[in-house]
Amino acid sequence: CPVCKSDKYLTPNLKLLVSPCFHKMCESCIDRLFGSGPAPCPMCHLVLRRNQFMSQIFEDLAVEKEVRIRKRVAKVFNKRPEDFPSLRLYNDFLEEVEDITFNLMNDVDVAETEAKINAYEMENKDSIAANQARMANENRFQSYQEELQKQEKEHRREEYMQQLEDERRQKEQEKTDLIKELVNGHIEEEEENEMGLLMLLVVVFLFYFYVGVHQQISSSRPCNATICRPQTIISIKTTNRFTSKHIITIWTIDNALMDHFGHGYGRGR
């Protein structure tokens, strides 16, 4: 602090504020000097009030000074291009604003510049207020548009998340259905295999029965070309409907037995 010479090394909680004349002072000195009312600045003797001190935003005090001066000047000189009959007049207006800003930043003819600002503010009080109101409306409209865009983005994000959730549920349902189908198919396959095994046992029984009869026929009648014929193929086929594989069991029976026992019943049986 330039007044009490305190620093953050000895006082870690030291907080410096900036005056309108852009001089730093700590909070303790501000309370001591300006707590009872307006008082002159210890550095430049400009009369200040306690509520005029503000926190420093930028590290460089010169940048802090320029930003504040430009905000102050723009608040008064707030005309727009549509307020002038020609572009040349608007450019002259901007040049005048830059001259005022330069004088205040570099402390050139400060009193004359301040008087010029006050005179312009008194002469254009109504237009300044109208432009400030218009700017406030534009800022509110801009905030409203930003809020709408934010809500729209949030709505699109919710729709996208809902779509992802629906896709996930659909995949889970498809997986569940596939598992159920596989389980049911496995049960049906076991039933088909059991039925095929039963048919196989029947064929085996018939085969051994035919073999026994064939032995009796062979012992009573010699085999010749007219009796001994090629064998008939009997097959049992079961199908796995998931793998599309066929399981074929083949049994052969002498046609002589078929002629002997199939007489009167048809070869197809």
Sequence-separated (6 or more) residues with CB below 8 Å from residue 223? 256
Phi-psi region of 47 (alpha: psi -120 to 50; beta: other; left: phi over 0): beta
The span from the CA of 202 to the CA of 196, in Å, is 10
Please state the separation of Cα 30 from the chain's center in Å: 50
> Which residues partner with 247 through β-bridges?
238
The per-residue pLDDT string of the chain (269 residues; one tens digit each, 9 = 90 and over) reads 888 888 878 878 888 888 888 888 888 888 888 888 888 888 888 888 888 888 888 777 788 888 888 888 888 888 888 888 888 988 988 998 899 889 888 888 888 888 888 888 888 888 888 888 888 888 888 888 888 899 999 999 999 999 999 998 898 888 888 777 776 666 666 666 667 677 777 777 777 666 665 566 555 555 443 444 444 444 444 444 444 444 444 444 444 444 444 444 334 33
Domains along the chain? 1-56 (3.30.40.10), 183-261 (no CATH)
Phi-psi region of 240 (alpha: psi -120 to 50; beta: other; left: phi over 0): beta
Rounded to two decimals, what is the model's pTM? 0.48
- Three-state helix/strand/coil letters over the chain: CCCCCCCCCCCCCCCEEECCCCCEEEHHHHHHHHCCCCEECCCCCCEECHHHCEECCCCCHHHHHHHHHHHHHHHHCCCCHHHCCCHHHHHHHHHHHHHHHHHHHCCCCHHHHHHHHHHHHHHCHHHHHHHHHHHHHHHHHHHHHHHHHHHHHHHHHHHHHHHHHHHHHHHHHHHHHHHHHHHHHHHHHHHHHHHHHHHHHHHHHHHHHHHHHHHHHHHHCCCCCCCCCCEEEEEEEEEECCCCEEEEEEEEEEHHHHHHHCCCCCCCC
Neighbours of 3 (CB within 10 A): 17
